[in-house]
């Protein structure tokens, strides 16, 4: 879906993502709405939001749900929205322009453009996680293969923006492998107490690739997703 600016996108998606990622139920303070470039929204979580707030949906939200119904991303049966398993998830990212509005500020479009590849890969990895059981299993295996202490400390950092821990495995992979912005990776993944952040990240990446390389029967789709990754080259 395309939005003219980040604020329009957040108005429509902010509450849904706050509910999904942070279990929010009260939206009276807009500060609780989630602002981000992309989100962990599967068709399942959108349907869950729609069912929970069915009596209080805004006009924009109703429009959005109609659109998603038309595109076969959710269905409505017996007065309940249901998700369509493995059919679609939403990968959201921001379109480029010469001047881009970001949370009310105008920023340089070229700077944004140079980061688009990383954002796309980051969101595409979420999309695959929600729609492809094999990719989900690989991601979950990678997360479980970390030593418990590391997993716990990264979970604590991720928990600042993603209280719902069911997204920690996919966010971990997306940040460590598919996000190019160093400050984003540092803020969302690496504990403050770590002094050599580059070494910490390098070590995480090599742990990830040793888990992937130990898997011998990956499908071409899943394999290519990791092989085309810029870090590997
Ligand atoms: Zn993400």
Domain boundaries along the sequence of the chain: 6-90, 132-227
Q: In this structure, are residues 84 and 72 in contact, taking their beta carbons and an 8 Å threshold?
A: yes
Radius of gyration, CA atoms only, the chain: 18
CA distance 205 to 173: 9
- Considering the entire predicted model, what is its pTM? 0.71
Kindly tell me the sign of the dihedral angle through the C-alpha atoms of 222, 223, 228, 233. positive
What percentage of the chain has pLDDT greater than the value 90? 30
For residue 22, give both structure tokens.
Answer: 């942070």
Q: What is the pLDDT of residues 127-171, one digit of tens each?
A: 889 888 999 999 999 999 999 999 999 999 999 989 899 999 999
Cβ neighbors of 155 (< 8 A, separation 6 or more) are: 165, 168
Phi and psi of 56, rounded to 5°? -120, 25
Q: In this structure, are residues 143 and 168 in contact, taking their beta carbons and an 8 Å threshold?
A: yes
Ligand 1: centre distance to CA 79 (Å): 31
Q: Half-sphere exposure of residue 106, counting CA atoms within 13 Å on the CB side?
A: 3
Ligand 1: centre distance to CA 219 (Å): 23
Q: What is the pLDDT of residues 171-219, one digit of tens each?
A: 999 999 888 778 888 889 999 999 999 999 999 999 999 999 999 899 9
Q: In this structure, are residues 171 and 188 in contact, taking their beta carbons and an 8 Å threshold?
A: yes
In the chain, the N- to C-terminal Cα span, in Å, equals 31
pLDDT of residue 86: 41
**Residue 107: pLDDT over 60:** no
SS3 call for 35: coil
Ligand 1: centre distance to CA 28 (Å): 25
Ligand 1: centre distance to CA 130 (Å): 12
């Amino acid at each position: 879906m395309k939005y003219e600016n980040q604020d329009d996108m957040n108005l429509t998606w902010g509450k849904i993502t706050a509910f999904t990622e942070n279990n929010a139920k009260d939206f009276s303070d807009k500060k609780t709405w989630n602002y981000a470039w992309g989100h962990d929204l599967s068709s399942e979580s959108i349907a869950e939001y729609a069912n929970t707030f069915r009596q209080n949906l805004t006009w924009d939200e109703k429009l959005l749900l109609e659109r998603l119904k038309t595109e076969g991303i959710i269905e409505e049966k017996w007065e309940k929205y249901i998700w369509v398993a493995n059919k679609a998830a939403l990968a959201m990212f921001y379109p480029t322009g010469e001047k881009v509005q970001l949370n009310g500020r105008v920023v340089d479009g070229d700077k944004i453009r140079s980061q688009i590849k990383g954002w796309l890969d980051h969101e595409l990895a979420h999309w695959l996680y929600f729609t492809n059981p094999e990719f989900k299993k690989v991601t979950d295996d990678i997360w479980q293969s970390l030593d418990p202490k590391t997993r716990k400390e990264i979970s604590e950092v991720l928990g600042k923006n993603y209280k719902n821990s069911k997204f920690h495995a996919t966010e971990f992979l997306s940040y460590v492998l598919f996000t190019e912005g160093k400050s984003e990776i540092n803020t969302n993944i690496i504990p403050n107490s770590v002094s050599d952040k580059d070494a910490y990240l390098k070590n995480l990446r090599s742990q990830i690739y040793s888990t992937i390389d130990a898997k011998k029967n990956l499908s071409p789709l899943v394999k290519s997703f990791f092989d085309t990754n810029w870090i590997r080259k």
